Structure 1
Amino acid sequence: MTKRFEVQRNAIRETRWAETPSASLEDGQVRLHVDAFALTSNNITYAAMGDALNYWAFYPTGDPTTGCVPVWGFADVVESHCGGVEPGERFYGYWPIADEVVLAPTDVGPGGFSESSPHRRELPPFYNRYVRCSADPGYSADGEAQQALLRGQFGTGFLLDDFFADSDFFGARTVVLSSASSKTAYGAAFCLAQRRDSAVGVRVIGLTSPGNLDFVTSLGCYDHALTYGEVATALPEAPSVYIDFSGSSAVRAAVHERLADRLKYSCAVGATHWDAPAGGTEPLPGPAPTLFFAPSQIEKRIADWGPAGLQQRVAASWAAFIEPVTRAENPWLTVVRGTGPAAIEATYTALLDGTVPANEGHLLSV
């Protein structure tokens, strides 16, 4: 039997565990045991935007009212009918919250493979690539938790920084980020902060809740941190770009109203405030918010730099980022491990409620 965590697509607090008979493998398929995965606010964004951005399409449940939230983590091959993918091999990639999964590898090579099941073929290649751990220069067994918890989010942060730098920050030199304590936000802020002493240096301002203000300030990658209640009076009235990780219509409106024509670009990324979604009917001052879709920037940079060139740049930036994340004194991330349905349900609910401490990262197994 295969056990899988499913949610109601139109009411993501409602969940269930589904058990189905394990499918027999066809030629070209492999079965993997999902060993460990991260569950963060990023996955809440996947659920909240599952229909809008097609996240439900990766692991369909067979029931159009339910969906499977994808997660980043590690799985081991337990059975293979595919040449070049052997039992016992470990892969990093995009999995369901389940104990096992069947994939159909294609483009198998030393570095890994791409998933080619019919329902995945039209989905972004970024999410369909599975990396062979034994061939991944950035992999270490001791660093699996940090990789699962942060590598995908950091990749988005890297691409956001690259997108804005490539556009000369639309003429602005201040970047405002909401949900500044979220892992994707401080990954982006870290990359932006590396430009402080360069010709394209920018001031980075983080917006957060009062309870996370001290944590955001302690990170050191924000030049200034404000609570959401301070936006209307204390956000500097300078030419700025806004990166919205919260998805909160109230926060977005406050930023637009404060900056108005000084806001040069408004970028929507996530929905950590999933229960206060953006998208009100009243027009906002300043530019219309534009959705950022990381795979589009990946495709641009692969065309510019080639796959190896992009990988090298991300790897170098990741190596610098991981130092403060894992340092012995005051690390940015404390790993919390859990096993079993109860641990998964508790973490999922805490993420929905916004009660997971900002410095915690949960690594889970079914």
Structure 2
Amino acid sequence: MDWIVTTARSVEEAQTRALDLLGVDSADAEIQVIEEGKTGLFGRTKSEARVRARIKPKAPPAKEERRSSRGGDRNRNRGGGGGGRGSNGKGSNRDGGKRDGGGRDGGNRDGGGRNRNRDGGTRDGGKRDGGNRDSGKRDGAKRDDAGKKDVAAPASSESRPSGGRDGGGRSRNRGGNRQRNDRNDRGDRGNRNNEDRVEMPVEEQRETLQGFVTGVAIAFDPSAKVELVEEGTTLQAQVTGENLGRLVGNKASTLQSLEELARTAMHRAAAGRRYHRIQVDVDEYRARRRAALAKFATDLAQSVAESGESKAMEPMGAADRKLIHDAVAEVAGVETVSEGRDPRRYIVILATDASDEEE
């Protein structure tokens, strides 16, 4: 299928438009970013993002797979014909076994001259791993004259042959368990190393965060002030002042960038030491947004409860989805489910039956 080109203010919006035009999910589409959108200092769009997309073509089976399947058929045919050649009197010497006139001396386990060393197991005169086949004993099981096999306890791991198929399977299982255990051990060591790291003193963390955020805030507003609030393992810098809307930006894009830069500054100052979770808020924007989002979710849930029609919300992050779930849980007669995949995962508010609530 031919490529289609879409434009929008951001790459995500351009991808969404392309998927809508193609009528497929993102997993069934091939998307390439031609140009990323550029924004100015005040969140204004300088240039739109451009992407091109098409439906993923279905590739034919690989040549190697077809070649291997044909090769397997030829090998099976050759293997079948080998028996015929042996019966016609052509002799060959393979693994110490002799074929003379179609007779296979190496195949006689009672007295043949076919010796094979497989993982420490030998066959000499019908003996394998200490087992005497001439006497009819094998792995602790006895056969009587009538051909019946008595029930015997399973042989121990020391007496079992290590070269057989069962032994190979057991070796693979043991190896797989060892690999999984090694991975678990590495994960445990990684967690222990993370816990064993020296923690950066809180006072040093506060000085680092205070200095960085204050320097940026003063560049936007000379009268800006920064106050640090510590809650558990979270250290939040709250910026207050006048005309700080530019520091928040369109859809809080500037605020998110400031928070990422603050984390980077803290990471460099820590130099491998552990530090608190870093958050930045400007004029209580995050608190006001959480309150507005919770109110919007509550109003939408009430309308769903009255009309009985489900409502889908726009894609959002994990923190916002949790806030929606908690807010809708307070409304009777509705429930929420998350659908889609990140970063386009969204919430659907559904109406529940009265019978389900009574149960």
TM superposition score normalised by structure 2 = 0.23
TM superposition score normalised by structure 1 = 0.23
Q: Which has the higher contact order (CA 8 A, sep 6+)?
A: 1
Q: Which structure is higher in helix share?
A: 2
